[in-house]
Structure 1
Amino acid sequence: MDEDLYRPGVGLMLLNRKRKVWVGQRLDSTLEAWQMPQGGLDPGEEPLEGALRELEEETGIRADLVEIVARAKESLTYDLPQDLIGKIWSKPWRGQRQVWFLARFLGEDADVDIATPEPEFRAWKWADPIELPALIVPFKKKLYEDIVAAFREWL
């Protein structure tokens, strides 16, 4: 795989006390799709730093309200559909290469605030980990299967 074709990114699977996973429904999608907090890395940013930044930017959940449990052993990738390449990011990346983390949510539901300065989600919920591949947009289904497999022993 030519790594220059994939945008560097991160993601965070956040588990509550009932071992349900936080997912949000994107504002910019007309699909009934839900996703975990994820996004691109800033230049020079370490993956864990980026994952915690994305979590707070997208959900309002502060880093002190999570405990990191694991990091996926390898980076995971997804490819964009051909019609989206060159349209959603400033560079024409083929997809994203992500470092994923698993974390426990130490807070309460009231600590979640998706009305952030640059909101990305219209709704959020806790989902069963096994449901995740069916909840995401179709082109990320394999990615979400890989994430669930990477963290299976903690789910």
Structure 2
Amino acid sequence: MIDPDGYRPNVGIVLIRDDGRVFWARRVNRDGWQFPQGGMRTDETPLEAMYRELEEETGLQPEHVEVLGATPGWLRYRLPNRYVRHHVRPTCVGQKQVWFLLRFTGEEAHFRLDANEKPEFDLWRWVDFWYPSEHVVSFKRRVYEQALKHLLPMAEALCQTPLRNTYRDDPAAAEPAFSR
């Protein structure tokens, strides 16, 4: 489903622990890392699509998370021209997304990246809240920053501490130490 402006409706998921660290996953057979996200079906609400994508990409069930909030309306990003399939109609030029902030309430054993017959991710880790906005592919960077800025007050209320962007303040901040 592509809207008249060429954007595919999509949901994005920021899964956060009580300590303010967020779930960050590597795409299968690629070097790219990202938050879980995926397209909406024509008969789904953003919330329904979020729960479906959460299960498909991480194996988590609704009882493993608590919805803390969502972005109001759509955030958009354009695909680089090399990724646009100009021969396909309607032509998709990018994605429009509603982003959800979910508190992880389950156990790490509940993660199953292979829950779907075609897994999206092959590796995951917990990273600082702002880390993804500095390390996602460049064409998604602005949307990640917008989503995280909007979700920040809810995240800070959860962990009861300010979540500074140490990657912007200190470029020497290295890769996260913990990795699965």
> Is TM-score (shorter-chain normalized) higher than 0.5?
yes
Deviation at 1:71, TM superposition (A): 1.2
Spell out structure 1 runs of 4+ moving beyond 3 A.
none
Q: 1:14, 1:97 → 2: CA distance? A: 19
State the distance in 2 between where 1:110 and 1:154 align: 26
Aligned 8 A contact 1:28 1:120 in 2: no
Give per-residue Cα distances to partners, 1:9-39, cap 9 Å, x unaligned.
111111112221111100143x3x3111101
In structure 1, the residue matched to 2:147 is 147
Matched-pair contact (CA < 8 Å) for 1:11–1:99: yes
Contact 2:6–2:90, Cα closer than 8 Å, also in 1: no
**Which residue identity lines up with residue 135 of structure 1 in the other structure?**
H
What are the Cα deviations for residues 94-148 of structure 1, in whole angstroms up to 9, with x where unaligned? Answer: 1000111111011011111112221011100111111111221111011111111
- Aligned residue number for residue 163 of structure 2: none
In the alignment, is residue 20 of structure 1 matched against residue 42 of structure 2?
Answer: no
Higher strand share: 1
Letter of the aligned partner of 1:144 in structure 2? Y
The structure showing larger relative contact order (alpha-carbon pairs under 8 Å, at least 6 residues apart) is: 1
The answer for the alignment partner of 1:122 in structure 2 is 122
What is the aligned residue count? 151
Distance 1:38 1:86 in 2: 20
Give me the identity figure in percent: 38
Closer, same or farther: CA 149–44 of 1 in aligned 2, 3 Å: same
Q: Which residue of 2 aligns with 1:58?
A: 57
Q: Distance in 2 between matches of 1:27 and 1:90?
A: 27
Q: Counterparts of 2:85 and 2:146 in 1: how far apart (Å)?
A: 25
> What SS is found at the alignment partner of 1:12?
strand
How far, CA to CA, are the matches of 1:91 and 1:109 in structure 2? 40
**Alignment correspondent of 1:98:** 97
RMSD: 1.8
TM-score, normalization by structure 1: 0.90
Higher-Rg structure is 2
